């Protein structure tokens, strides 16, 4: 279990018969919104040596060049997953992610975002993290924050329990965020508030009564 980042505890999935409180749902993007920088790349850099990370970045140059043409962040992320995580046991990545959160979280999380999270939490809103980052990496953060639900890009695992280097779901960005929220909470979902920091959050923000675009700016 991840160390609690705000105190309290809650499951990452709502039960099928869960009743929403009067306030309802509040959704947060993660990277750049709750955190001050990209969590996935910070995790990759943290878990390997400087030399291994540098070699991996060099190998990713062709994918980065193609990104300039296709502008598909999902493909670029998939290339990074394949380079750094393919073949690892799921349990190994989960353990590494937990250690990463416990040692690095305070240097990543925005204080003003945490205050906002606590504000809605105290009002018994259902708090949802909706992120394009891999689920295995963000899950310990979500548990530490006592999130009710985590919606993320899920990594594919083979029959031996090893990461294939691919995705089990589409990259959770842009319209995919809304699609995933509607699959969980119904087509007519309305958010009490939503927070994000890039164009990949705009569709989700349109579902909210309060749309907080780049609202959090404090550094850890």
How do the domains of the chain map onto residue ranges? 25-213
pLDDT band for 8, please (50, 70, 90 cuts): very low
Could you tell me which residues come within 8 angstroms of residue 90 by beta carbon, excluding any fewer than 6 positions away?
Answer: 136, 157, 161, 162, 163
Please determine, looking at this structure, whether the domain spanning 25-213 carries the CATH number 3.55.40.20.
no
- Which tens digit of pLDDT belongs to each residue from 191-210? 999 999 999 999 999 999 99
CA atoms of 169 and 61, how far apart (whole Å) = 25
Q: Is the pLDDT of residue 9 over 90?
A: no
- Which tens digit of pLDDT belongs to each residue from 34-86? 999 999 999 999 999 999 999 999 998 887 787 666 666 767 788 899 999 99
Task: From residue 85, give the alpha-carbon distance in Å to each of 1, 50, 80, 88, 166.
Answer: 22, 16, 8, 6, 10
Centre a 10 Å sphere on the Cβ of residue 56 and count the other Cβ atoms it contains: 16
């Amino acid at each position: 279990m991840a160390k609690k980042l705000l105190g309290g505890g809650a499951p990452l999935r709502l039960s099928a018969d869960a009743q929403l409180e009067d306030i309802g749902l509040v959704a947060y993007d993660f990277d750049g919104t709750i955190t001050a920088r990209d969590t996935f790349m910070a995790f990759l850099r943290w878990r390997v040596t400087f030399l291994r990370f540098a070699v991996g970045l060099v190998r990713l140059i062709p994918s980065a060049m193609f990104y300039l043409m296709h502008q598909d962040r999902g493909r670029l992320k998939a290339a990074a997953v394949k380079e750094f995580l393919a073949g690892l046991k799921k349990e190994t990545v989960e353990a590494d992610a937990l250690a990463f959160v416990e040692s690095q979280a305070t240097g990543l999380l925005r204080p003003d975002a945490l205050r906002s999270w606590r504000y809605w939490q105290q009002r018994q809103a259902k708090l949802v993290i909706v992120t394009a980052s891999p689920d295995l990496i963000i899950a310990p953060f979500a548990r530490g924050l006592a999130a009710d639900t985590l919606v993320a890009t899920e990594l594919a695992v083979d029959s031996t329990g090893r990461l294939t280097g691919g995705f089990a779901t589409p990259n959770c960005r842009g319209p995919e965020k809304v699609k995933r929220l509607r699959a969980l909470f119904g087509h007519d979902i309305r958010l009490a508030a939503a927070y994000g920091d890039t164009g990949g959050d705009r569709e989700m923000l349109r579902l909210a009564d309060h749309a907080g675009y780049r609202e959090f700016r404090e550094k850890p």
